[in-house]
Structure 1
């Protein structure tokens, strides 16, 4: 499969799927913090669906083309590869629409989007404990951190001023001893 379209598909599946989609996810997550405004969530979901469908429709046929031996870097292909190439081209068009859509609704949101507030996602990370958009100095005074921001295993809401101990975690999750090596003592 060396020097076939399998190589092209694999490279783009990794780079687009691993980098571009992560970048878009990060932009959408931090957009309210950056601009102080929310984007229309429905449009964000529509763009995500278009990108997912376009991505798979573009590159999955290329895996099949490579598996069937279609070489890359030649100007003319045998007719038996036509259907999968057309599918891949259609997928690229859908993918392009999915990439362009956020440009419009994110630009729109900078002027007309609903005011985001400081923490529209209810996140517990430190970056969400300041104003949106953040002031130049981020925090007026140094924040005091009382707990890990990602204690998803704890039931109920986390009180930002409560101190969480290892005993609280073990009691709440029922775990910790195996990780600490205490299970071997049994």
Structure 2
């Protein structure tokens, strides 16, 4: 797996190869960041279900000043740390918590929140409700889900600005 854009472009990162994680393919990551690129310049990113950290690292490569990588799986978080270390990313914070615990404990507001939960976690409104308060005004939420997932067109003051499908994956982008 490689970083597809920004200052770390073409750099190789490790994948988790775990049954519980699902890596976002390079071409899908590139399409996502091409979609949202015009909406951010700098800021802080949260990758709440980080896996290998590829999505958060891609955000850092493309201009985010800091990334927070969270994953409940110890092995996945270990890969996140290895990837950031090999890329010499110093502005990364790692947490090993269930997403509900993370959200309840978090004191930071984010410009970009990346959500790629296991597809079996299909309560999209509940997840959005929990992370909504961590999002800064004008911030973005990128939500990856199964293609048949049901998601809200409107949620609080979040505007749905993108909705794309890639194979069995749907990516929706909300802006506050």
- For the aligned pair, the TM-score class normalised by the smaller chain equals under 0.3
TM-score (norm 1): 0.22
TM-score (norm 2): 0.23
Kindly indicate which of the two structures has a greater share of residues assigned to strand. Answer: 2
If asked which structure has higher relative contact order (CA below 8 Å, sep 6+), I would say 1
Kindly indicate which of the two structures has a greater share of residues assigned to helix. Answer: 1
Asked which structure has the greater CA Rg, the reply is 1
